[in-house]
Amino acid sequence: MTTPETRFGRIRPAPENFLSQDDIRAVAAGRRGFLRKAFAAAGAAVAAPAAFAASPKGDPAILELPEWSTTLGQPVAANPYGMPSQFERGLVRRQSPGLTRVPGSSVSFTPLQGLFGMITPSGLHFERHHQGWHDVDPNRHRLMINGLVKTEAVYTMDDLMRLPSVSRIHFIECGANTGMEWGNVAVPTVQYSHGMLSCSEFTGVPLKLILDMCGADYKKGRYILAEGADGSSMTRTIPMEMVESGEVLVAYGMNGEMLRPENGYPLRLVVPGVQGVSWVKWLRRIEVGDQPWGAKDEAVHYIDMMPDGVHRQYTSIQECKSVITSPSGGQLLLDKGFHNITGLAWSGRGKITRVDVSVDGGINWMPARLEGPVLPKALTRFNCDWVWDGKPYILQSRAVDETGYVQPSYGQLRKVRGTSSIYHNNAIQSWKVAESGEVGNVQVL
Ligand SMILES: Nc1nc2c(c(=O)[nH]1)N[C@H]1C(S)=C(S)[C@@H](COP(=O)(O)O)O[C@H]1N2
Ligand SMILES: [Mo]
pLDDT digits 0-9 by tens, 281-318? 999 999 999 999 999 999 999 999 999 999 999 999 99
Note whether 278 and 175 are within 8 A (CB): no
**Beta bridge pairs of residue 439:** 433
State residue 17's pLDDT score. 43
pTM to 2 decimal places? 0.89
What average pLDDT does the segment 134-150 reach? 98
Specify if 114 maps to a domain.
Answer: no
State residue 37's pLDDT score. 39
What average pLDDT does the segment 221-236 reach? 96
The ligand 1 atom nearest the CA atom of 198:
21
Q: Is 130 in the pocket of ligand 1 (CB under 6 A)?
A: yes
DSSP 8: S
Q: Is 74 exposed, middle or buried (0-12, 13-18, 19+ CB in 10 A)?
A: exposed
328 and 304, same domain (yes or no): no
Q: What share of the chain is helix, strand, coil (3-state, %, to 5)?
A: 20, 30, 50
Smallest CA separation from ligand 1 atom 11, residue: 277
Torsion of CA 37, 38, 41, 43, to 10 degrees: -110
Q: How far is the centre of ligand 2, averaged over its atoms, from the C-alpha of 438 (Å)? A: 31
> Which region among 19-33, 174-188, 360-374, 393-407 has the lowest average model confidence (pLDDT)?
19-33
Q: Which of 416, 440, 419, 415 is nearest to 430 (CA)?
A: 440
Smallest CA separation from ligand 1 atom 2, residue: 281
What are the distances in angstroms from CA 285 to CA 207, 231, 258, 276? 12, 14, 20, 18
413 has pLDDT over 80:
yes
Q: Is 230 in the pocket of ligand 1 (CB under 6 A)?
A: yes
294 and 324, same domain (yes or no): no
Q: How confident is the model at residue 353 (pLDDT cuts 50, 70, 90)?
A: very high
Specify if 439 maps to a domain.
Answer: yes
396 and 249, same domain (yes or no): no
Specify if 79 maps to a domain.
Answer: no
Domain boundary among the residues 264, 287, 312 is at 312
Q: Is 126 in the pocket of ligand 1 (CB under 6 A)?
A: yes
Q: Is 268 in the pocket of ligand 1 (CB under 6 A)?
A: no
Q: Provide the phi-psi class of 158: left if phi over 0, else alpha when psi is between -120 and 50, else beta.
A: alpha
Total domains in the chain come to 2
144 and 260, same domain (yes or no): yes
List the domain range (segments joined by +) for residue 9. 4-44+318-444
Q: How confident is the model at residue 20 (pLDDT cuts 50, 70, 90)?
A: low
Q: How far, in Å, CA of 381 to CA of 373, rounded? A: 9
Specify if 163 maps to a domain.
Answer: yes
Ligand 1 pocket test, pick from 107, 143, 234, 250 with the greatest ligand atom count within 8 Å of Cβ, gives: 234
344 and 307, same domain (yes or no): no
State residue 59's pLDDT score. 78
Domain boundary among the residues 312, 334, 355 is at 312
What average pLDDT does the segment 208-226 reach? 98
Specify if 104 maps to a domain.
Answer: no
344 and 396, same domain (yes or no): yes
Looking at per-residue pLDDT, the higher value among 37 and 272 belongs to: 272
147 and 231, same domain (yes or no): yes
239 and 155, same domain (yes or no): yes
State residue 57's pLDDT score. 74
355 and 275, same domain (yes or no): no
Specify if 410 maps to a domain.
Answer: yes
H or E segment to which residue 441 belongs? strand 439-444
What average pLDDT does the segment 241-263 reach? 98
Q: Is 208 in the pocket of ligand 1 (CB under 6 A)?
A: no
Q: How confident is the model at residue 254 (pLDDT cuts 50, 70, 90)?
A: very high
State residue 5's pLDDT score. 35
What average pLDDT does the segment 265-276 reach? 98
Q: Is 322 in the pocket of ligand 1 (CB under 6 A)?
A: no
Q: Is 113 in the pocket of ligand 1 (CB under 6 A)?
A: no
H or E segment to which residue 32 belongs? helix 32-43
Q: Is 281 in the pocket of ligand 1 (CB under 6 A)?
A: yes
Cis peptide bond upstream of 15, omega within 30: yes
CATH number of the domain where residue 212 is located: 3.90.420.10
What average pLDDT does the segment 369-388 reach? 97
Q: How far is the centre of ligand 2, averaged over its atoms, from the C-alpha of 439 (Å)? A: 28
State residue 11's pLDDT score. 27
Domain boundary among the residues 257, 281, 312 is at 312
Smallest CA separation from ligand 1 atom 23, residue: 277
50 has pLDDT over 60:
no
- Size of the chain, expressed as the number of residues it contains: 445
276 and 350, same domain (yes or no): no
What average pLDDT does the segment 48-75 reach? 79
What average pLDDT does the segment 424-445 reach? 97
Specify if 69 maps to a domain.
Answer: no
In this structure, which ligand is nearest to the CA of 254?
A: 1
Specify if 113 maps to a domain.
Answer: no
What are the distances in angstroms from CA 172 to CA 2, 18, 197, 377? 27, 29, 6, 9
324 and 240, same domain (yes or no): no
